Amino acid sequence: MSEPLIRTLADVEAFEQVPLEQRADTWTIPEVIAHGAGLNPDAVALYYLLDADPEEIPLTFTYSDFIGKVHQTANLLRRLFRGTDGVAGVLLPVVPENYFLLVGGPSAGIVCPVNWAMKAPQIAGVLNAAKAEVLVTLGPTPGFNIWETTLEVLKLAPGIKHVLQVRGPNGTVEADRDFTALVGRERADRLDFERDLRPDDTAIYCPTGGTTGLPKLAKLSHRGIAYKCHAFNWIHEQGPGDVIFAGTPLFHSGGIVKRTFKTLAHGVTILIVSPHGFRAPRSRENFWKLVERYRATELSVPPTMMAALISRPTDGADLSSLKEYATAGGAGLPVATGRAFEEKFGVRVLANYGLTENTTSVTLSPRGVELRYGASGIRVPYTHIKTVVVDRQGAHVRDGAPGEVGVIAVKGPGVIPGYVDDSQDRGLFFPEGWLNTGDLGRIDADGYLWVTGRLKDLIIRGGNNIDPRVIEDTLLQHPGVELAAAVGRPDTYAGELPVVFVQLKSGATASADEIKAFARTKIPERGTAPADVYIVDRLPLTDVNKISKGPLRCDAAQRAFAVALADLAAGISASVEVKELPAGGMRACVTLTSSAGCREPAAEVKAREIMDAYTMGYDVVWPA
């Protein structure tokens, strides 16, 4: 590997002395992918496994094969679209056809990938908002209910004019809807149509929420995606010979841009571990054997999986192909997880911060320098960040001072122009085009971003965004519930777990277990159902009679930490208080008490080890 181009903020600033347009000459998806394929057309672009089995013979596509499939897919969609901006909805797990559509679709029109785990009304709502006229979905397949859901979707989405089926493992397709057969009739050597494709054209309608509710659709442009393909490689270099695993869903920006377009744009080989991705149990059981078998060079897995891998033996697998660095996607990486991963495997985990509205990452941790665990790296070249102090309505008051916590604001080529429904753009931007991320953080003197919390209500469970309204609206259907407020409770594995505080109607006698069971039968996706229900006498309200969630988040965090700290040592007890900070975010104070009346250093060390597994800042104190 060559020396890193960028290690520090000073390197970023020096790099930016050359205008962006002079740094690259490919600004559409077809151009950046053609560049990657041209590096070595005979190299493998995709390996595809059905059950994460290292002994399985994979379906293999070289870059030449892949580009042919991309051309055929684009040619087919172009014939089906009624206009130049036709939209194809994609309802597929992690299969090769999903990649053909993501890469080929934007040449013909716009692609809208949808979370297939949602219920039919939510999926139909997304497709209707996107005005999709083509839907590519999985045919009847054991282990998946995607086709059954599709039949319900079609009743609710009359704009869908063409439905194509991809054959899943041991599945079936209808002859006249067989995506593979229809694609196979198209020419593979080139696009069979002309289109004045411009860099600022929309390529993908990307849902902003991963798993529940009716997400907003962000308009990702060709330029924004191409820019990220270039910029990521300036900090985290990849190229032919590199092999990464594909296990994350392809309906959110991280899986689409960072782990698909960026890798293919640089000739990297992608191993699809299973149609279920990393959700397949055997993907974790066989993970290290797969690294050995396919000579994986870089790990890019969510923090939740990293935590699971730490406790899993390598079974003697040869891990010498791995680079010194790995990248963590999804939710915030707990400091303890990153350090433990490095200590056990010799692989340093590079954190990042991003959001769909910026076409993924805003900051990346550079390689070649000492890691700052807990920080989210420095800004990507040509992307600028600052913090903003806002008023109670979230409006800009002033820019934050150096090191001051505020709302993170972003400006640069990756920032989207807006949502498909422009009525949702209200509050998306601060003055002068700065993106309002809704997240809280501070920027230190060296340019490192430290994310401290967020203003928005999303609960992030293992990298999946959960809209609390889905939980709240469901529980309000229970005859005994008067008010419900869902928040995230800190969790060492998932980052956050959804929990809900409930205020019962006068005279109601419903129990927490009963309400929890009700939620599990009604919530669209199991991972969204609350992990716990807390019945309270009265929910806290603001001065305008809206539920105040800040105290509830503190309450949920206190409950989690109290349980974790319950058994420190004989004669030692811990009390926890979590407070909202004046500038935003939360911080925990753990007070240790000894029955012997003296401090116990070992108990304090253990308490700190427990709290290090969480991402929230904390203090450990003894009574004066």
Share of the chain above pLDDT 70, in %: 95
Q: Is the pLDDT of residue 152 over 50?
A: yes
pLDDT at 51: 94
Least confident of 143-147, 260-264, 530-534, 570-574: 570-574
Residue at 466: amino acid letter: I
- Average pLDDT on 88-94 reads 97
Which whole number is the average pLDDT over 36-45?
Answer: 98
Q: How far apart are CA 23 and CA 518, in angstroms?
A: 56
- pLDDT of 337 above 80: no
Q: Where are the domains of the chain?
A: 9-439, 459-539, 562-621
> Residue range 335-353: average pLDDT?
86
Per-residue pLDDT at 591? 95
pLDDT on residue 582: 63
Domains 9-439 and 459-539 equal at CATH topology level:
no
| Cα distance between residue 508 and residue 511, in whole Å | 9
The mean pLDDT of 212-221, rounded to a whole number, is 80
pLDDT tens column, 266-318: 999 999 999 998 888 899 899 999 999 999 999 888 776 777 788 788 989 99
CB 322 within 8 A of CB 297: yes
Higher pLDDT, 499 or 337: 499
The angle at the Cα of 294, spanning 290 to 299, to the nearest 5 degrees, equals 70
Q: Is the pLDDT of residue 544 over 70?
A: no
What average pLDDT does the chain have?
Answer: 91
Task: Give all strands of the β-sheet with 325-328 in edge-to-edge order.
Answer: 300-301, 325-328, 348-350
pLDDT at 211: 37
Is residue 319 over pLDDT 70? yes
Question: Which of 265-274, 367-376, 381-390 is least confident?
Answer: 367-376
CA distance 614 to 624: 26
Model confidence band, residue 473 (pLDDT cutoffs 50, 70, 90): confident
Which is nearest to 298 in space by CA: 231, 342, 347, 264? Answer: 347
Q: What is the mean pLDDT of residues 328-340?
A: 69
Residue 212 has pLDDT above 60, yes or no: no
What is the distance between the alpha carbons of residues 33 and 20, in angstroms, rounded to a whole number?
19
339 pLDDT more than 70: yes
The per-residue pLDDT for range 9-21, each reduced to its tens digit, is 999 999 999 999 9
- The answer, yes or no, to whether residue 1 has pLDDT greater than 80, is no
Q: Which residue has the higher pLDDT, 207 or 457?
A: 207
Per this entry, what is the length of the chain?
A: 624
- The answer to whether residue 454 scores a pLDDT higher than 70 is no
CA distance 66 to 48: 13
CATH architecture observed for domain 9-439:
3-Layer(aba) Sandwich (3.40)
Which superfamily, per CATH, for 459-539? Answer: ANL, C-terminal domain (3.30.300.30)
Task: Give how far Cα 117 sits from Cα of 71, 91, 340, 521, Å.
Answer: 29, 9, 32, 15
Q: Which amino acid is at 15?
A: F
**Residue with more model confidence, 467 or 242:** 242
- Which band of pLDDT confidence, cut at 50, 70 and 90, is reported for residue 547? confident
Give yes or no for residue 199 having a pLDDT over 60.
yes
Given a cut of 60, whether residue 389 has pLDDT beyond it is yes
Which of the given ranges, 413-422, 497-506, 539-548, has the highest pLDDT on average? 413-422
- Give residue 468's pLDDT band: very low, low, confident or very high (50, 70, 90): confident
Buried b (16+ CB within 10 A) or exposed e, 370-399: ebbbbbbbbbbbbbbbbbbbbeeeeebeee
